[in-house]
A = this chain, B = another copy of it.
Amino acid sequence: MIETPYLLFLGDAPDQLAAKVAQGIKDWRPEFALGQFRMEGCKAGMGLTDMDLAEAKAAGAKTLVIGVANRGGVISQAWKKVLVTALEEGFDLASGLHNLLRDEPDLVAVAEACGRQLHDVRIPSVKYPIANGVKRTGKRCLAVGTDCSVGKMYTALCMEREMLARGMKASFRATGQTGILITGDGVPLDAVIADFMAGSIEYLTPDNDADHWDLIEGQGSLFHVSYSGVTMALVHGGQPDALILCHEPTRAHMRGLPGYDLPSLQALRDTALPLARVANPTCEVVGISVNTQNMPEAEARAYLASLEAEMGLPATDPFRFGAEKLVDALAAI
Q: Is the CB of B230 within 8 A of A229?
A: yes
- How many Å from the CB of A221 to the closest CB on chain B? 10
**Contact for A135 among B98, B230, B259, CB less than 8 A:** B259
Q: Chain A, interface size: which category?
A: 35 or more
Copies of this chain, tallied across the complex: 2
- Residues on B with C-beta less than 8 A from A259 are 133-135
> Given A226-B132, A257-B133, A259-B135, A197–B194 Cβ distance below 8 Å?
yes
Residues in A52-94 with C-beta less than 8 Å from chain B: 71-73
- Residues on B with C-beta less than 8 A from A135 are 259
> Given A132-B257, A222-B275, A275-B222, A228–B198 Cβ distance below 8 Å?
yes
Could you say which of A37-45, A104-112, A185-193 contacts chain B? A185-193
**Contact for A191 among B73, B194, B198, B257, CB less than 8 A:** B194
Residues in A133-178 with C-beta less than 8 Å from chain B: 133-135
Residues of A within 8 A of B (CB): 71-73, 98, 129-135, 189-195, 197-199, 222-223, 225-233, 235-237, 254, 256-257, 259-260, 263, 271, 274-275, 278-279
- How many Å from the CB of A91 to the closest CB on chain B? 28
- Residues on B with C-beta less than 8 A from A235 are 228
4 smallest CB-CB distances across A and B, nearest first, come from: A229-B233, A225-B236, A229-B229, A190-B195
Smallest CB gap from A254: residue in B? B133
- Residues on B with C-beta less than 8 A from A132 are 226, 256-257
**Contact for A225 among B193, B198, B222, B225, CB less than 8 A:** B198
- How many Å from the CB of A190 to the closest CB on chain B? 4
